[in-house]
């Protein structure tokens, strides 16, 4: 399935949305056909038209900490706006606990773009976002609308479920998350012993290394998993089948 960012699409002007959305059954058939061909962009275009949005952005939350725009799966948001929003998304994620992230699944939220962000003419500065999971990966769907358009939240939730449906066709097929790759064997050992309730001193005795080294490993684990406490690191490990 294609997941590369098309920079030309990021700079695209708003597309005309359909006056009347496709019937749900017809929409599902079109999305299924696009997903079967590995064309996630076409699937997103059908979904965007269905909810009456002007722009879409589909991202992987587990890659938000990366320095590039590799967290984007597909998008037709203006490129400069995506670059501006990346820091906002990363900051929001880092301030959210694992419990808050779980409770936010498929719950549409209305957010506002930064004051210094330049939006296309006629597009509302507020945008809708919702998250959903496909296997072990968490995705975010961000939708911009023309000024004065207020989409029904039920349709937004439906969009999230349909996005999860076509994403499951191949975006994560045979893939391994970056966070899995980043964690070393020693860091995974520390995660296991944290989950067992061991202190740094106890782990140092078990593994035969110093307490400071243990703490360094744990700090590295929390940095790579974007967690702030040992409890959140355990929750991450359990959710991703690491322990």
Residue 67 token pair: 């320095």
With 0.75 as the threshold, say if the pTM is over it. Answer: no
- Tracing tokens 């590295």 back to the chain, one arrives at 220
Q: How confident is the model at residue 90 (pLDDT cuts 50, 70, 90)?
A: low
| Amino acid 171: pLDDT | 57
Residue 53, pLDDT above cutoff 90: yes
pLDDT-wise least confident of 135-149, 159-173, 186-200: 159-173
- State the pLDDT at residue 17: 40
Buried residues in 179-201 as b, exposed as e (16+ CB within 10 A): beeebeeebbebbebbbeebebe
pLDDT interval class at 89 (50, 70, 90):
confident
Tell me how far CA of residue 146 lies from CA of 17, 51, 138, in angstroms.
10, 12, 27
Q: What are phi and psi of 42, to 5 degrees?
A: -65, -40
Average pLDDT over residues 186-215: 90
**pLDDT tens per residue across span 218-238:** 999 888 887 888 888 887 777
Element (H, E) at 112: strand 109-112
Best CA proximity match to 19, nearest among 144, 109, 146: 146
Highest mean pLDDT among 56-60, 95-99, 237-241: 56-60
Give the whole-number percent of the chain exceeding pLDDT 70: 75
In sequence order, the β-bridge partners of residue 133 are: 138
Helix axes 211-224, 200-207, angle to 10 degrees: 110
Residue 240 burial class via C-beta count within 10 angstroms: exposed 0-12, middle 13-18, buried 19 and up:
middle
Instruction: State the pLDDT at residue 16.
Output: 41
* DSSP assignment string, 31-93: HHHHHHTT-HHHHHHHHHHHHT-SEEEEEEGGGTTSSSSTTEEEE-S-HHHHHHHHHHHHHHH
């Amino acid at each position: 399935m294609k997941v590369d960012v098309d920079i030309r699409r990021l700079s695209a002007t708003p597309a005309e949305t359909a006056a009347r959305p496709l019937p749900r059954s017809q929409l599902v058939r079109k999305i299924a056909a696009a997903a079967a061909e590995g064309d996630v962009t076409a699937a997103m275009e059908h979904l965007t038209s269905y909810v009456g949005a002007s722009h879409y952005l589909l991202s992987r939350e587990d890659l938000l900490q990366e320095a590039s725009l590799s967290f984007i799966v597909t998008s037709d948001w203006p490129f400069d706006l995506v670059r501006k929003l990346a820091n906002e998304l990363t900051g929001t994620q880092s301030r959210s606990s694992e419990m808050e992230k779980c409770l936010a699944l498929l719950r549409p939220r209305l957010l506002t773009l930064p004051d210094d962000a330049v939006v296309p003419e006629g597009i509302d500065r507020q945008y809708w976002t919702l998250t959903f999971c496909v296997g072990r990966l968490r995705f975010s769907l961000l939708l911009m609308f023309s000024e004065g358009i207020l989409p029904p939240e039920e349709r937004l939730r439906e969009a999230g479920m349909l996005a999860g449906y076509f994403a499951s066709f191949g975006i994560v097929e045979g893939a391994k998350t970056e966070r899995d790759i980043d964690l070393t064997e020693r860091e995974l050992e520390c995660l296991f012993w944290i989950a067992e309730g061991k202190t740094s001193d106890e782990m140092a005795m078990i593994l035969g290394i110093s307490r400071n080294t243990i703490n360094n490993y744990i700090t590295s684990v929390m940095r790579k998993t974007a967690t702030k406490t040992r409890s959140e690191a355990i929750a991450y490990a359990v959710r991703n089948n690491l322990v």
